[in-house]
Amino acid sequence: MKLLARGTSLFLLMVGWLTSSCQQNGVFSTTQLDLQTETISTEFKNPWSFAILPDGRMLVTEKEGELFILENGVKSEPVAGLPEIFVRGQGGLMDLELHPSYDENGWIYISYGSSSDGREGNTTVMRAKLEGNTLTDQEVIFKAEPDSRRGQHWGGRMEFDKEGYLYISVGDRGARDENPQSLENHSGKIHRVHDDGSVPSDNPFVNVDRAVASIYSYGHRNPQGMALNPTTGEIWTHEHGPRGGDELNVIRAGNNYGWPVITYGINYNGTEITPLTDKEGMQQPVTYWVPSIAPCGMTFITGDIYPEWEGSIILGSLKYQYLHRCEMLGNKVIMQEKVLDGFGRMRTVRQGPDGYLYCSIEGKGIFKIIPVRS
């Protein structure tokens, strides 16, 4: 049954992906839109994330531990006031998120690797305010435990919902047999907290003995994409599978997403992780990818700039270096296609206040995506 499921997934990818994102004279053609890219800045090595401030400036994180302001294409000196960043493997200075009431309170949320001893670390979230080129009023509001010496699977994505709760992803930190299915640690989970880091009283495991109270869902491997569905108000994530089995999920309170008890992936050496792709009490993904596309970054498309894509999900592919569009009908993916095929390792994609899509690409920089209309 597992082999059939994998084969079906691969078949669906082959017939469902419309790989028409060909480039000619700087124009990328897709099924519904022709697109061009506008270079915002090429002065970044590994821009893990960015946030667009109301005045149009961008904050950009470099994974190796520096934060910059980008204004009219000009990169600032490193922003002062960051804590010491623990950089190991896939971890370092990661995501940025603005408070929904940023105009009133100025809070900026930053996820990063932190360590108490310089040898082990885990995903941490702080909030701070920006004054000139300096962070002030720094507060650590979340720290995942236990720390680990391993370099993989930090998660690190953040998103606010419509009620003002902050969701934080933490990967399994490479300990798949210990962390994702245990409620006694932070790793392999999606967490929900108030904007100050305190735990909501209605979180699903608040009254469960020895459970980490901030856990909202569990059984995750490495969620590196998170977005609010503006229509339903639900939080969606995607996560890296092993060799195959990347997943797109709707996150709901208390749900177990199965890793590593169920998966559509296999070990990197080709051996089986589990014979199961489904199990009672564990959630099936909205869709999954075999082979893996290595998804990263995620947003829902709204507004007038890309009306043909209204309601679609756009996410990045690190492995195959393109943007990936999922056309949605409710909570179902009805078509998938490549966008900007071969443009680069997409780390973050966001829709800015101006309605345009922006993406950060490892080794290339920050770019704006513009429809070409006759």
The model's pLDDT over 44-80, given as tens digits with 9 standing for 90+, comes to 999 999 999 999 999 999 999 999 999 999 999 999 9
The predicted pLDDT at position 26 comes to 85
What CA–CA distances, in Å, run from 12 to 18, 327, 348?
A: 11, 14, 26
Average pLDDT over residues 255-260: 98
- Token pair of 186, please? 């932070």
Q: 334 and 313 in contact (C-beta within 8 Å)?
A: no
* DSSP-based helix, strand, coil % in the chain, nearest 5: 5, 45, 50
Report the C-alpha gap between 295 and 324 in whole angstroms.
Answer: 9
Give yes or no for residue 356 having a pLDDT over 50: yes
pTM of the model: 0.95
Q: Is 153 a catalytic residue?
A: yes
Give yes or no for residue 12 having a pLDDT over 70: no
Residue 180 maps to which CATH number?
Answer: 2.120.10.30
**pLDDT-based confidence at 167, cuts 50/70/90?**
very high
- Comparing 2 with 265, the larger pLDDT belongs to 265
Percent of the chain with pLDDT over 70: 93
The predicted pLDDT at position 2 comes to 35
- Token pair of 231, please? 């229509």
Report the C-alpha gap between 25 and 43 in whole angstroms.
Answer: 24
Least confident of 22-36, 136-150, 171-185, 216-230: 22-36
Please tell me which residue in 153, 191, 240, 324 is annotated as part of the active site.
153
Q: 148 and 154 in contact (C-beta within 8 Å)?
A: no
The predicted pLDDT at position 112 comes to 98
The number of domains in the chain is 1
5: Cβ contacts below 8 Å, ≥ 6 apart: 264, 277
74: Cβ contacts below 8 Å, ≥ 6 apart: none
Q: Which of 217, 224, 256, 228 is nearest to 241 (CA)?
A: 224
Give yes or no for residue 10 having a pLDDT over 70: no
Strands of the sheet containing 357-361, edge to edge, are 22-24, 27-29, 34-41, 365-372, 357-361, 346-351
The predicted pLDDT at position 3 comes to 35
**pLDDT-based confidence at 22, cuts 50/70/90?**
low
Q: 212 and 186 in contact (C-beta within 8 Å)?
A: yes
| Burial class, 300, CB count within 10 angstroms (exposed 0-12 / middle 13-18 / buried 19+) | buried
Give yes or no for residue 137 having a pLDDT over 60: yes
Q: How many residues does the chain have?
A: 374
Average pLDDT over residues 190-209: 98
Residue 11 is part of which domain span?
Answer: 2-372
